Amino acid sequence: MRVLVVEDHIDLADDMAEGLRDLGLATDVAYDGRSGIDKAFINSYDVVVLDRDLPIVHGDEVCATLRDSQSEARILMLTASSAVDDRVAGLNLGADDYLTKPFAFDELVARINALGRRSPSAAPVLSAGDLTLDRARRRAARGGRQLSLTRKEFGVLEVLLAANGGTVSAENLLEQVWDEHADPFSRTVTVTIGRLRRKLGEPDLIETVVGTGYRLR
């Protein structure tokens, strides 16, 4: 899952992003509404965590702009106001959920995961042959054997399974599993694929499509 946090309180935004990355979610950050719109148009996000009171472009306008665009991202709106009218206004603009500040990080994560499961392409359990991946429980197994995967290995496997046999480029894996700070010239994807292959065991399920990317057999 890839998440965009749009929050003008820098420390809060960075703390949220760091916590989400620690949980294996590829997370980008924007500190104002204009930057948030720009990043949402450039990258494909599953969930946008959107503060309502933003500088340059107000959060309401950001929400309306994303809803009027081709973006399929789910929007979790944040606000310091607990007034019912404010929550209703945000939802009427197209937000999918609402969270009042201050909030517990565990609740933020739970709401992001719930919205991610509502994504058009987010089936709760993915499978191919004897390989299964449970998105909600963050578990993967092959032939009934539980796999001990790192967060990045799990993310790569999730993207490959979601492609349903299609080829996924290294660039696409970087975009969906890592974040905007990932070095496109590094061997990060190659190394992660290698580790994942070993953990999946024989016969090898991941095929390298020369010059294109990777796919599950």
H or E element, residue 152? helix 151-162
CB atoms within 10 A of CB 22: 10
From-to residues of CATH 3.40.50.2300 in the chain: 2-117
Residues forming a β-bridge with 167: none
Assess whether pLDDT exceeds 90 at residue 11.
yes
DSSP assignment of 49-113 equals EEESS-SSS-HHHHHHHHHHSS---EEEEEES---HHHHHHHHHTT-SEEEESS--HHHHHHHHH
Which of 44, 70, 72, 66 has the alpha carbon at shortest distance from 176? 44
Q: What is the pLDDT confidence band of residue 147, given thresholds at 50, 70 and 90?
A: very high
Q: What is the pLDDT confidence band of residue 141, given thresholds at 50, 70 and 90?
A: very high
Which of 12, 22, 199 has the alpha carbon at shortest distance from 102? 12
Looking at domain 2-117, which CATH architecture does it have? 3-Layer(aba) Sandwich (3.40)
Neighbouring residues of 73: CB distance < 8 A, sequence distance ≥ 6 = 4, 40, 44, 45, 46, 47, 48, 66
At 186-212, the pLDDT tens digits run 788 899 999 999 999 999 999 999 888
H or E element, residue 153? helix 151-162
At 77-124, the pLDDT tens digits run 998 876 677 667 767 778 899 899 999 999 999 999 888 876 655 567
What pLDDT sits at residue 132? Answer: 92
Assess whether pLDDT exceeds 90 at residue 16.
yes
CATH of domain 125-216: 1.10.10.10
Assess whether pLDDT exceeds 90 at residue 49.
yes
Q: Regarding predicted confidence, which is higher, 81 or 48?
A: 48
From-to residues of CATH 1.10.10.10 in the chain: 125-216
Lowest average pLDDT, out of 21-25, 131-135, 180-184, goes to 180-184
